[in-house]
Amino acid sequence: MSLAQDTAAAPPRTADRLDGRAALILTACCACWGVNQVAIKVANEGISPVLQVGARSLLAGALVFAWSAARGIRLFERDGTLLPGFACGVLFGAEFLLIYVGLGFTTASRGVVFLYLAPFVVAFGAHYLVPGDRLTVLKVAGLAAAMLGLIVAMREGLLEPGRPTLAGDLLCLLAAVLWGATTVLIRATSLKSAAPEKTLLYQLAVSGVLLPPASWLVGEPGIVSLSAPVLIAFAYTFVIVAFVSYIAWFWLVRTYPPSRVTAFTFLSPVFGVLAGNLMLGEAFTASLAAALALVAFGIYLVNRQRRIDVAR
């Protein structure tokens, strides 16, 4: 049974930890998002970044709508999700706007480090807003280990003498807060009972409407080249990432504790470094190997069942 059929046929199931299926799907999503960094870099050669994200949202939204219609998933029934859905769409669109603008003022390595502070936002937000997903000593230790692994993996690019990065750092940090806030909002509102496709469509539709005008406002040149590599890379971003992986992601967020789900996102930049090594010829370093070990250990700690509350 597909994720969509499972969602339509039964009420959402809430698990207290990740099972093997969830771990496999999460790992696949993180791999997709890691490769996505390479795809975006290629697509940016021919399509301006903010316009690219807006167009990606519109095209992926059309795919989600067609998928939902084919599966008989009801998208327009009154279920109290309109306001939180619109809020999620605004957060989603603002997050990507901040990411792409911020990366113009800081290095990619610094931007990734700040962006992947999002799991900490989720962990603390879920502690107060999502019943049954409280902070524990092991969760804090696991998040710290995973974050340390991420810093180790990205340490070569953290310092770039002679280039001011404060503005870009702050924009990427704010984007991380918005990403984490979106995840908590889904689990803390009526969206937790909505079909993943509906939650995703809210975000794609709202961001697809907001970002193209934002591209014009910031003075982007728009489409400058549509070579085969650019088109293939762009197709990957909206078919595989914004359609397939995001449907899986929202199903995971509504089914499993969000702090445990988002801990896996620390794998995404590591997969990104691996993708750079395989596709762009970048070196596989000892620091990356150490980072993989730290991230794996951190995820193991976050998903252990021992309950020791840090704050009651």
Number of domains in the chain: 1
240 vs 150: CA distance, rounded Å: 24
Rounded Cα distance between 129 and 12, Å, is 18
Between the two ends of the chain, the Cα-to-Cα distance in Å is 40
pLDDT at 82 over 60: yes
CA-CA distances (angstroms) from residue 292 to 82, 183, 271? 40, 24, 9
Query: What pLDDT is recorded for position 201?
Result: 92
Q: How many CB atoms lie within 10 A of CB 175?
A: 26
Highest mean pLDDT range out of 2-11, 70-79, 200-209?
A: 200-209
Which one, of 255, 261, 251, 259, lies nearest residue 129 by Cα? Answer: 259
Residue 267 lies in a domain: yes
DSSP category for residue 264? G
Q: Is residue 6 part of a domain?
A: no
Asked, for residue 55, whether it belongs to a domain, the answer is: yes
What does the pLDDT look like over 253-311, one tens digit per residue?
Answer: 778 877 678 777 777 777 777 776 677 665 566 776 777 677 777 777 766 643 333 33
For residue 195, which amino acid is it?
A
Q: Is residue 151 a part of any domain in this protein?
A: yes
- At 3, the pLDDT band (50, 70, 90 cuts) reads very low
- Is residue 8, in this structure, part of any structural domain at all? no
- What are the backbone dihedrals phi and psi of residue 36, each rounded to the nearest 5 degrees, phi first? -60, -35
Contact partners, residue 107, CB within 8 Å, separation at least 6: 157, 158, 160, 163, 165, 168
Lowest mean pLDDT among 22-26, 105-109, 192-196, 209-213: 105-109
Q: Is position 11 within any domain?
A: no
Residue 90: predicted pLDDT: 93
In a domain, 13, yes or no: no
**Per-residue pLDDT tens for 120-156?**
777 777 777 766 667 778 778 877 887 787 777 666 5
Q: Say if 308 falls within a structural domain.
A: no
Contacts of 206 (CB under 8 A, 6+ apart): 86, 88, 89, 90, 92, 93
Q: What are the φ and ψ backbone dihedral angles of 223, each rounded to 5 degrees?
A: -90, 120
pLDDT at 133: 66
The rounded distance, in Å, linking the Cα atoms of 292 and 148 is: 10
**90-94, 99-103, 111-115, 210-214: lowest mean pLDDT where?**
111-115
> Which domain does 238 fall in, by range?
19-72+79-302
Is-contact 75 201, C-beta < 8 A?
yes
**Strands, E, within 116-232: which ranges?**
none
